[in-house]
Amino acid sequence: MKVAIACESPLLQRSLELFLEGYLSSLRHCDIVIRDHDVPHDDRLSLLIGTSENVDLVKPFSKGELFRRLHEKMTLVKDEILMNECSTPHDESEEKVSFEILERHIEKLTQDYQANILKAIKAFYEK
């Protein structure tokens, strides 16, 4: 996952840069852009951070919450693309494809959940 950060708040910008140190990329080559302001005519996938209810991530947030929301947003978009590629199921083979997509999505969520739990346990015992 390649992330670009385009925030108006210098404090938020720097905090996100520290949180996402290994994932940073330029706006041109990123998979997702994190912003603290809405850019109406930008077609890029973005994660909006703020204090209102219509944002993807509400401030204040933890590093774990940030990563969780980024993964959720990326997974959601990938699943939408896959679902658009597969038309509405009309026969048994197409239903099987839809079920396989759902199955892969569940497996991915389970793996992410397991990884987050292991990170938390490791962090606890490393103190």
Domain with 50, as residue range(s), is 1-61
Nearest CA among 74, 103, 102, 97 for reference residue 85: 97
Alpha helices in the chain (DSSP H): 10-19, 63-85, 92-126
Residue 47, domain member (yes or no)? yes
pLDDT at 84 over 70: no
**Looking at per-residue confidence, does 89 or 43 come out higher?**
43
Residue 19, domain member (yes or no)? yes
Residue 73, domain member (yes or no)? no
Give me the helix-helix angle, 10-19 and 63-85, nearest 10°.
80
β-bridge partners, 6? 35
Residue in the structure block whose two tokens are 């292991």: 118
Residue 97, domain member (yes or no)? no
pLDDT attached to residue 112: 85
Residue 110, domain member (yes or no)? no
Residue 96, domain member (yes or no)? no
Q: Poorest-confidence range of 17-26, 36-45, 82-91?
A: 82-91
pLDDT attached to residue 33: 93
Taking residues 44-49, what's their average pLDDT?
89
Taking residues 68-85, what's their average pLDDT?
78
Residue 101, domain member (yes or no)? no
Q: How many domains does the chain have?
A: 1
Residue type, 17: E
pLDDT at 86 over 70: no
Residue 118, domain member (yes or no)? no
pTM (predicted TM-score): 0.60
pLDDT attached to residue 83: 67
